[in-house]
Chain A
C-alpha cells in the first residue's frame, strides 16, 4: 500500500501546549499536504510542502519535510480547544494520478 502513516494515532494535550504529529511515506513524492477534519465534516487544507522544501509555516502551524527519512511532521504551537480535530497527511507520489491519504491523528485539546 502507498498509504502514508501518521503517528501517533491519537494525542491528548492541554490548551497552550504544543502538538506534534508525524507522517511517514514510502516512495518519492511531488509534495506532501496536511489536512484537518472536524468531526464528520469535510477535510480542510492546511499546508502543502513540496519535495524541494524543508520547512513551511502558516500561523501557528509548522511543517517539516525530510525526504531522506521519508517523513514529515506537523507542529501546532500554543494549541487551543478549537484545534481538536483529526489531522491527515496526504502524499502526491511521483508518477501516480492521485493523492494518497493516511489514516489520521486524532488530536484532543482540553481547556
Chain B
C-alpha cells in the first residue's frame, strides 16, 4: 500500500530535550516536505527536499533541522524544542513540488 508513515504519532517532551520525528514514504517520490499546522494559521511549510541530499528552508524553518540521506526517509529534528513548537506536524511526499502531495497521519507534539 502506498503510504507516508510518521513516528511517533504523539509526543510529550520538555524544553531543550532533542527529539526526532521520522518520516518514510514507499512511493519512490523525489519531493518531501514537513509542515506544521496551528489553529488559525493553516499549514506552514518548515523544510522541503527536492531529492537526496537536497534540502531547503520553507516558511518557518527556525528551530528545526532536516536531512535526506535516503530517498524514502526525511526526518525532522528539533535540537532544542521550545513550547512554541507545540503543534501538529505533517510529512508529505510527491513526485515533484507542484503535484499531488501525499500526507502522513501527523505527529502531535507537546513541549512543556
Contacts and interface: CB of A to CB of B under 8 A. Distances in A.
Secondary structure dominating the interface of B: strand
A42 B102 CA distance: 9
Interface stretch (B62-70, B73-81, B93-101): B93-101
B33 A98 contact: yes
B94 to A, nearest CB: 8
Interface residues of A, number: 23
B105 A99 contact: no
B106 A40 contact: yes
Contact of B98 (A30, A45, A88, A103): A30
Nearest to B43: A101
The 4 closest A-B pairs by CB, nearest first: A42-B103, A103-B42, A92-B98, A101-B43
A88 B90 CA distance: 15
Contact residues of A: prevailing secondary structure: strand
A33 B97 contact: no
21 contacts: A3-B42, A33-B101, A40-B88, A42-B103, A43-B90, A43-B101, A43-B103, A45-B101, A45-B102, A88-B42, A92-B97, A92-B98, A97-B48, A97-B56, A98-B45, A98-B58, A99-B45, A100-B45, A101-B42, A103-B40, A103-B42
Nearest to B104: A42
Given A97-B50, A98-B97, A99-B98, A41 B43 contact: no
Contacts of A30: 98
A12 B58 CA distance: 34
